């Protein structure tokens, strides 16, 4: 996947896309009419169709629930930006005299979210922010303090506030501004930018301009008091008391950002042990959705959300964390001796680099983590099924794809995979073609009741080879529909052929019988296995391979015959973390 394609898939857009996107949609502030823009800004201040507005009660009929972050709402009674920010319902929007001119500029940078490093390009705005349109730039960029300018009256002091009107968080505060630029003020609270944890909830950040009736003094003490108030309230900050304590008039100017989630926003709430929405980054992968549909999974309003950005899976409840433990390994492959130290490989579903089959030769450790992080004790009675599928053909949208079951565990009680019933033992993925990349998908499915592991063979197809008997042509849709299973979590990775794969294919190594030390290697005989390929077929194109093997592989122990056509080497080569031989 290319860099631009990868960024777009994560909801990260370059600034050059924003003017084009906005110009295709008529908004009050993109028509070059300041009067219309001001009217639009005033209307935004009192509209009640944001997530916390009039529709909140229908989506959350039971109101706020501490174990349901989707319905978290610190102020249910106030349903628009004005009332949530000012804690009053009688504000006259005619007091808003102007809209603020806001521009974000940020250098290139990077951040780590959901265990993955994201690189962000430099961001420059050559036009003012459209105050009446959702912005889809990454939130790391928007965390940088923007330029905020406005029409000022000489001699008048101003205050500018950045405020999250959804979650009632203070995101920046500057006072005693004596010009038409917020940069001339004194900072009481640093800029932190907008945040949203959900892909289907537009959250709002408001920049509000107030007139002061004099200089705000003792700013250091005021700043300390603000921080303490936020700590005491668990992060919430009610702005009305600051307004009244300092006799502020307004707001007389307004600017907005409406944002949806991305990796940076997700990590913010993850760091605070509130909500883990990392699965969303996989759930919106177009290739994953293509694979699911090709395997018979039906996208419906109850399990997905669609807008102009694309389709996203909903209803997920678990983050599936997969870690492969790869013990030390010694083996011959294509005229070379290979050795690798013990290593743990964590599956990063967003990584572009494939994992080596040597690392995935044994069943992984799978950790199931509730997305609702405030769940301390896992609910009793929940049962899950875990699948590992080769979805290479399904991702390519082939009709009737040959989806192969590599692992199937059912009746998993809660979050403990080891306590489930293994319907199909783990079968390591081994790419037979030297040039292909195989795509693997873990699916976690919630069961309504226990299932019989012995009766699951009927969801696979006929005509499998001996290695994939009762595993090939798996019909996911039929399996889920018949057993009434619900998609609860997922993750993915890809693999490519490595020296270990080639050794298995031509019979130099037998799965499960690989030497874990040099001493064990020196006494281990030939693998007792029927090869799938000849050594020439498996090693075609492998670096250093010839038949017979080159004389550089001369033996240092003539009494030991090593499998695969290689003799004990004078110099042991080592594979790096990617599984490539390092001479």
3-state secondary structure 277-308: CCHHHHHCCHHHHHHHHHCCCCCCCCCEEEEC
Backbone angles phi, psi at 420, to 5 degrees: -80, 175
Reported confidence tier of residue 567, pLDDT bands at 50, 70, 90: very low
Whose CA is closest to 471, among 525, 524, 408?
A: 408
Q: Is residue 11 predicted with pLDDT exceeding 70? A: no
Phi-psi region of 11 (alpha: psi -120 to 50; beta: other; left: phi over 0): left
Query: Per-residue b/e over 182-195, b at no fewer than 16 CB within 10 Å?
Result: beebbebbebbbbb
Q: What's the domain range around 366?
A: 279-499
pLDDT at 129: 86
The secondary structure of residue 454, as a DSSP letter, is G
Q: Is residue 551 part of a domain?
A: no
Q: Which of 23-27, 99-103, 155-159, 278-282 has the lowest mean pLDDT?
A: 23-27
Q: What is the pLDDT of residue 581?
A: 35
Nearest-angstrom CA–CA distance, 235 and 216 = 24
Token pair for 218: 């003792």
Could you give the CA distance from residue 324 to residue 366 in angstroms, rounded to a whole number? 9
Lowest-confidence range among 80-89, 154-163, 464-473?
464-473
Give the pLDDT score at 33.
Answer: 84
Assess whether 285 and 228 both reside in one domain: no
Residue 385 has a pLDDT of 97
Separation of alpha carbons 517 and 340, rounded Å: 10
Is residue 334 within 8 Å of residue 499, measured between CB atoms? yes
Residues 524-557: pLDDT tens digits? 666 667 788 999 999 999 998 999 998 754 333 3
Instruction: Let me know whether 204 and 348 are in one domain.
Output: no
Number of Cβ within 10 Å of residue 346's Cβ equals 14
Q: Output 22 or 539, whichever has higher pLDDT.
A: 539
Say how far apart CA 88 and CA 266 lie, in whole Å. 31
Q: Are 258 and 303 members of one domain?
A: no
The pTM (predicted TM-score) of the whole model is: 0.84
Q: Per-residue confidence at 446, pLDDT binned at 50, 70, 90?
A: very high
Q: Which residues contact 413 (CB under 8 A, 6 or more apart)?
A: 382, 383, 419, 420
User: Could you say which of 499, 514, 536 is where a domain stops?
Assistant: 499
- Sequence length of the chain is 583
CA dist., res. 500 & res. 118, Å (int): 31
DSSP string across 92-150:
-GGG--EE-EEE-EE--EEEEETTEEEEE--EE-SS---TTSB--S-HHHHTSPPEEE-
Asked if residue 543 belongs to a domain, the reply is no
Query: Does the residue 509 lie in any domain?
Result: no
Q: What percent of the chain has pLDDT over 70?
A: 89
Q: Are residues 331 and 454 in the same domain?
A: yes
> Could you tell me if residue 138 is inside a domain?
yes
Same domain assignment for residues 366 and 266: no
Between CA 552 and CA 400 the distance in angstroms is 48
What pLDDT shows up at residue 502? 95
Residue 511 predicted with pLDDT over 60: yes
Cα separations (Å) of 509 from 333, 363, 456?
Answer: 8, 18, 31
Q: Name the residue with higher pLDDT: 314 or 135.
A: 314
Tell me, yes or no, whether 449 and 389 share the same domain: yes
CATH of the domain at 460: 3.90.280.10
Q: What is the DSSP letter of 514?
A: -
- Domain co-membership, 57 together with 177: yes
Q: Could you tell me if 236 and 338 lie in one domain?
A: no
Q: Hey, CA dihedral for 29, 33, 36, 39, is it positive or negative? A: positive
pLDDT of residue 552: 56
Among the listed residues 125, 86, 423, 396, the one whose alpha carbon sits nearest the alpha carbon of residue 238: 86
* 122 inside domain: yes
**pLDDT at res. 560:** 35
Contact 118, 265 (CB under 8 A): no
* Same domain membership, residue 194 and residue 83: yes
300 shares a domain with 210 = no
Q: What is the tens place of the pLDDT at every residue in 321-338? A: 999 999 999 999 999 999
Q: Which region among 213-222, 285-294, 389-398, 457-466 has the lowest average model confidence (pLDDT)?
A: 457-466
Do 124 and 160 share a domain, yes or no? Answer: yes
**Rounded CA gap, 84 and 461, in Å?**
57
Boundary (domain end) residue, out of 251, 271, 291: 271
Boundary of a domain, candidates 466, 499, 532: 499
The percent of residues in the chain predicted with pLDDT above 90, rounded, is: 63
Structure tokens given for 122: 């430099």
Top mean pLDDT of 14-18, 271-275, 377-381, 516-520 is at 271-275
Residue 356's closest CA among 340, 336, 377, 379?
Answer: 340
CA distance 398 to 441: 16
CA 102 to mean position of chain CA atoms:
29
The count of structural domains within the chain is 2
In a domain, 133, yes or no: yes
CA distance 65 to 375: 12
Residues 123 and 165 in one domain: yes
- Residue 328 in any domain: the answer is yes
């Amino acid at each position: 996947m290319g860099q631009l394609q990868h960024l777009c898939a994560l909801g990260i857009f370059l600034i050059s896309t924003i003017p084009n996107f906005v110009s295709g949609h008529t908004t009050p502030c993109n028509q070059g009419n300041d009067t219309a823009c001001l009217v639009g800004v005033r209307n935004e201040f009192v509209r009640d169709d944001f997530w916390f507005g009039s529709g909140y009660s229908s989506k959350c009929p039971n109101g706020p629930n501490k174990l349901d972050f989707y319905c978290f709402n610190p102020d249910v009674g106030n349903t628009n930006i004005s009332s949530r920010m000012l804690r009053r319902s009688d504000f006259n929007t005619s007091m808003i005299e102007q809209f603020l001119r806001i521009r974000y500029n940020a250098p290139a940078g990077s951040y780590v979210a959901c265990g993955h490093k994201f690189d962000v390009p430099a961001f420059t705005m050559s036009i003012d922010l459209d105050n009446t349109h959702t912005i889809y730039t990454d939130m790391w960029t928007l965390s940088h303090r923007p330029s905020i300018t406005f029409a000022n009256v000489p001699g008048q002091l101003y205050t500018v506030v950045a405020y999250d009107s959804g979650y009632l968080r203070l995101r920046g505060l500057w006072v005693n501004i004596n010009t038409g630029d917020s940069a001339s003020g004194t900072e009481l609270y640093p800029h932190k930018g907008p945040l949203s944890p959900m892909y289907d909830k537009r959250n709002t950040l408001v920049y509000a301009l107030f007139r002061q009736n004099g200089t705000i003094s003792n700013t250091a003490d005021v700043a300390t008091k603000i921080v303490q108030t936020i700590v005491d309230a668990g992060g919430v900050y009610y702005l009305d008391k600051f307004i009244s304590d300092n006799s502020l008039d307004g707001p007389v100017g307004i600017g907005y950002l409406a944002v949806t989630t991305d990796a940076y926003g997700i990590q913010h709430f993850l760091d605070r042990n509130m909500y883990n929405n990392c699965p969303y980054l996989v759930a919106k992968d177009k290739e994953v959705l293509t694979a699911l549909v090709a395997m018979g999974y039906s996208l419906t309003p109850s399990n997905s959300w669609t807008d102009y950005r694309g389709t996203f899976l909903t209803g997920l409840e678990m983050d599936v964390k997969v870690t492969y433990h790869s013990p030390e390994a010694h083996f011959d492959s294509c005229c070379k001796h290979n050795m690798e130290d013990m290593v743990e490989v964590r599956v990063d579903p967003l990584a572009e680099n494939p994992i080596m089959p040597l690392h995935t030769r044994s069943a992984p450790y799978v950790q199931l983590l509730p997305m609702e992080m405030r769940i301390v004790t896992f609910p009793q009675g929940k049962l899950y099924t875990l699948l590992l599928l080769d979805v290479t053909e399904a991702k390519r949208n082939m009709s009737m794809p040959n989806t192969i079951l590599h692992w199937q565990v059912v009746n998993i009680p809660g979050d403990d995979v080891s306590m489930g019933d293994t319907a199909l033992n783990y079968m390591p993925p081994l790419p037979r073609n030297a040039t292909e990349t195989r795509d693997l998908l873990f699916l976690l499915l919630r069961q309504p009741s226990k299932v019989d592991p012995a009766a699951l063979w009927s969801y696979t197809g006929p005509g499998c080879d001996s290695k994939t008997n009762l595993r090939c042509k798996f019909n996911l849709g039929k399996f889920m529909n018949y057993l009434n299973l619900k998609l609860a979590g997922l993750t993915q990775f890809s693999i490519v052929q490595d020296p270990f794969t080639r050794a298995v294919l031509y019979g130099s190594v037998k799965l499960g019988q690989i030497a874990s030390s040099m001493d064990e290697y020196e006494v281990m005989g030939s693998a007792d296995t029927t090869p799938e390929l000849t050594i020439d077929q498996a090693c075609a194109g492998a670096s250093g391979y010839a038949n017979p093997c080159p004389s550089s592989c001369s033996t240092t122990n003539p009494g030991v015959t090593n499998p695969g056509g290689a003799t004990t080497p004078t110099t042991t080569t080592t594979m790096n973390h990617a599984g490539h031989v390092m001479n």
